[in-house]
């Protein structure tokens, strides 16, 4: 249930509404827009229906939310959510296109430092890099762990780029959150509800990837777990789903981008690298995502992809990434949008 306040409602009016909602045993979630403030109510909505909330002078209307996901629903926010990657102007969801780039996994100090400096020069706003990697085979390279976090922190200190890295387990959340600016929840963990809840309580923005076979409703319900822990800084990432098609690694659900943009207030980015599985297709898929309205891209980039220890086939070279950024600028200009720039 959503309580919409009148434009002239005061803070005192808002406090009265919140107090009544709490008296009924519901949890209020306040969202302030430019002209409106709304209060989302989580709990037994039947109790709210029994109270004449419209008798409050500050209340304009009350709207039911029939969707299974409440906090993620567009109706539950007074405007689009903008997720700041670090304390800087702007953020993902502000209308500009934000590009996050870096290797699948951090392999060495020199590699991640070179990558960070190069992708920033090309226009990336954040550095991605895996410290802990989920791999299908237990014998594959699974990251450098804590040492990689140290390298990522050094790369951030040198370039100013915020760090996005994956967390695999509830036991890692506290350690990773000490370094990472954004916690990534990978596709395999989209329905690891304990991890979602723990990440929601970590106090850091969360980039949530869609599961390999998840419906969009399941995807939004996964986001709901994070939101329900008091963390409103969630970025949704469409990275392709597993279908009967074998030509590509995954099938990017391009229609998910405009659907999610209409259905939720959360920002939406795409991962063209995992969708393609091969670097010659990453750029056209990325441009299609931008044209569909995505708020940003998550692109795997490596100084020497042919020697990468993971996902080399789908990683762009540093030079090719720079070419991608020039093409993104052109698409953005055609759509009346801009390419976000990294903080100085």
pTM: 0.90
Q: What is the average pLDDT value for the chain, to the nearest integer?
A: 92
pLDDT tens digits, 97-116: 999 999 999 999 999 999 99
The pLDDT of residue 139 is above 70? no
**Around 271, how many Cα atoms within 13 Å sit in the side-chain half-sphere?**
31
169: burial class by Cβ within 10 Å (0-12, 13-18, 19+)? middle
Q: pLDDT value at position 344? A: 62
8 Å CB contact between 218 and 256: no
Tokens representing 12 are 């005192």
Question: CA 156: distance to chain centroid?
Answer: 19
Question: What is the pLDDT, as a whole number, of residue 88?
Answer: 64
Tens-digit pLDDT profile for residues 200-224: 999 999 999 999 999 999 999 999 9
Please say whether the dihedral angle defined by the alpha carbons of residues 143, 149, 155 and 161, taken in this order, is positive or negative.
positive
Q: What angle do CA 258, 210, 313 make, to 5 degrees?
A: 100
Domains along the chain with CATH numbers = 2-64 (3.30.70.1140), 98-334 (3.20.20.70)
């Amino acid at each position: 249930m959503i309580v919409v306040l009148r434009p002239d409602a005061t803070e005192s009016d808002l406090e009265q509404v919140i107090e009544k909602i709490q008296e009924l045993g519901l949890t209020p979630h306040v969202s302030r827009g430019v002209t409106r403030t709304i209060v989302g109510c989580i709990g037994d909505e039947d109790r709210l229906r029994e109270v004449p909330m419209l008798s409050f002078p500050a209340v304009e209307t009350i709207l039911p939310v029939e969707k299974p996901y409440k906090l993620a629903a567009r109706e539950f926010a007074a405007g689009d959510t903008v997720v700041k990657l670090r304390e800087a102007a702007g953020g993902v969801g502000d209308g500009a296109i934000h590009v996050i780039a870096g290797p699948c996994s951090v392999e060495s100090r020199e590699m991640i430092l070179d990558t960070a400096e190069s992708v920033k020069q090309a226009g990336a706003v954040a550095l991605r890099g895996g410290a802990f990697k989920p791999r299908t085979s237990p014998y594959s390279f699974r990251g450098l762990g804590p040492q990689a976090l140290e390298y990522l922190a050094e790369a951030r200190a040198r370039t100013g780029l915020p760090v996005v890295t994956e967390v695999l387990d509830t036991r890692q959340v506290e350690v990773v959150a000490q370094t990472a600016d954004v916690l990534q929840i990978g596709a395999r963990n989209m329905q690891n509800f304990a991890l979602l809840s723990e990440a929601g309580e970590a106090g850091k923005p969360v980039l949530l990837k869609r599961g390999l076979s998840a419906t969009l409703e399941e995807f939004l319900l996964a986001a709901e777990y994070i939101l329900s822990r008091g963390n409103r800084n969630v970025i949704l990432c469409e990275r392709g789903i597993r279908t009967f098609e074998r030509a590509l690694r995954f099938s990017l659900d391009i229609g998910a981008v405009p659907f999610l943009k209409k259905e939720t207030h959360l920002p939406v980015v795409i991962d063209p690298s995992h969708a393609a599985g091969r670097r010659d297709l990453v750029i056209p898929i990325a441009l299609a995502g931008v044209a569909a309205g995505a708020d940003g891209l998550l692109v795997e980039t490596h100084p020497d992809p042919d020697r990468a220890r993971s996902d080399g086939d789908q990683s762009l070279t540093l030079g090719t990434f720079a070419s991608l950024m020039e093409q993104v600028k052109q698409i953005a200009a055609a759509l009346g949008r801009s390419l976000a720039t990294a903080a100085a």
